[in-house]
Amino acid sequence: MFVLGIDPGLSVTGYGIVAASRPLQALAAGVVRTDPRAPLSQRLVELFDDLSAVIAEFGPTEAAIEEVFVNRNLQTATAVGRASGVAILAVARAGLRVTEYTPSAVKLAVTGYGDAPKDQVQAMVARRLGMTEAPKPADAADALAIAVCHLQSTGLRRLIGERT
């Protein structure tokens, strides 16, 4: 099973593919960038096309995405929400199930602490995936963390389901 993790953003969307092997293995990580000077509709189409290409190339069986975090900047939250919707559409169009996780759930799953700083999350992603250093850019590392969170959560749900 391969999981696609997505860290949505309008300017930069991170993606990571993790294999559900023992130990977990990162197959790919990167970012999709859109031109901030381009019209919004063009940027969203580009994001859809690029994520669709990643899905076609790696053939994930499931996907996970970080839920939109609404902070003080409503404009940023709106842009991320649009990117998130396009990412979910690309995944759904490919026939994959997508699960959303809050930022604190991802941090808790990867580090054991829901308020872990970004550098700690990146270091733990590298350690858990057997990498010599934290993946770069940060958006790609975050996407890998989301995929790891999903694999860990899916495993726990299966264990709980099997015991009840």
Q: Which of 57, 139, 142, 162 is catalytic?
A: 139
pLDDT at 164: 42
- The answer, yes or no, to whether residue 158 has pLDDT greater than 70, is no
Report which of 115, 47, 54, 55 is spatially closest to residue 82, judged by C-alpha positions. Answer: 47
pLDDT at 161: 53
pLDDT at 71: 65
62: tokens are: 């499931």
pLDDT tens for 100-112 read 999 999 999 999 9
Q: Could you give the CA distance from residue 99 to residue 65 in angstroms, rounded to a whole number?
A: 6
CB-based contact 134:123 (threshold 8 Å): yes
CB-based contact 8:63 (threshold 8 Å): no
- The answer, yes or no, to whether residue 156 has pLDDT greater than 80, is no
pLDDT at 134: 87
Q: Which of 50, 62, 66, 142 is catalytic?
A: 66
As a whole number, the mean pLDDT across the chain is: 91
For residue 148, give the DSSP letter.
H
Q: Which of 7, 50, 62, 142 is catalytic?
A: 7
For the chain, domains (ranges, CATH) are 2-163 (3.30.420.10)
Residue type at 56 in one-letter notation? A
pLDDT at 22: 86
Residue 35 known to be catalytic: no
- The mean pLDDT value for 78-88 works out to 94
Q: Could you give the CA distance from residue 151 to residue 82 in angstroms, rounded to a whole number?
A: 26
- pTM attached to this predicted model: 0.92
Residue 7 known to be catalytic: yes
Q: Higher-confidence residue: 136 or 56?
A: 56
Residue 162 known to be catalytic: no
Spell out where 34-96 has E strands: 62-66
pLDDT tens for 126-155 read 999 999 998 899 999 999 999 999 999 876
- The mean pLDDT value for 3-22 works out to 95
Side-chain half-sphere CA neighbours of 66 within 13 A? 29
- The mean pLDDT value for 24-53 works out to 97
